[in-house]
Amino acid sequence: MSLPNRRLVLLAPLALAACGFSPVYGPGGNGQILQNRVLVDPPGSQDSYLLVRELEERLGRSSDPDFALSMILEISEARLAIDREGDTGRFNRIGKVQYSLRDLDTGRVVTSGVVENFVGYSATGTTVETLAGELDAQQRLMVVIADQIVTRLYAATLDR
């Protein structure tokens, strides 16, 4: 494997600056548009609690929100690696979220969409190991989905 040309690596930041790239959390970035200004719907399940917690960690909690984020969370599980006896050795935990960001002043939907992802865990150990793997997968899935939602929210607010 060859290393990239050093000149290209040194010129990459200039190319990004020339195309109008600016950091989301930098001065004047989109991160300031939503930071501490979004009210996330209250959770109704353990999965939604974990998702709301991750979203509030990224967006902050607002005492005086300008936006409301509504979500519909669907979780399913797929059995993988099934042996001859019918025992499952691996599971995929699949999450799908329909979200909608509304402006509270106008009631207008700023953006909406669907994100979907999955994580896997092993079920080949003891009952305790399998349960720990399942709980870890549940938390990891909510982290991945929260990252996807926040990325799409920032992208949608680029022109604000």
| pLDDT tens digits, 24-64 | 666 666 667 889 999 999 999 999 999 999 999 999 998 89
Q: What dihedral angle (degrees, nearest 10) is formed by the CA atoms of 26, 32, 36, 39?
A: -130
Q: Among residues 115, 111, 31, which one has the least CA distance to residue 68?
A: 111
Considering the entire predicted model, what is its pTM? 0.80
Q: Name the DSSP class of 131.
A: H
| pLDDT tens digits, 73-121 | 999 999 888 888 888 888 899 999 999 999 999 999 999 999 999 999 9
User: So where are the chain's domains?
Assistant: 6-156
| pLDDT tens digits, 112-157 | 999 999 999 988 888 899 899 999 999 999 999 999 999 999 988 8
Confidence of residue 23 (pLDDT cuts 50, 70, 90): low
Runs of H (alpha helix) within 80-126: none
The fold for domain 6-156 equals Double Stranded RNA Binding Domain (3.30.160)
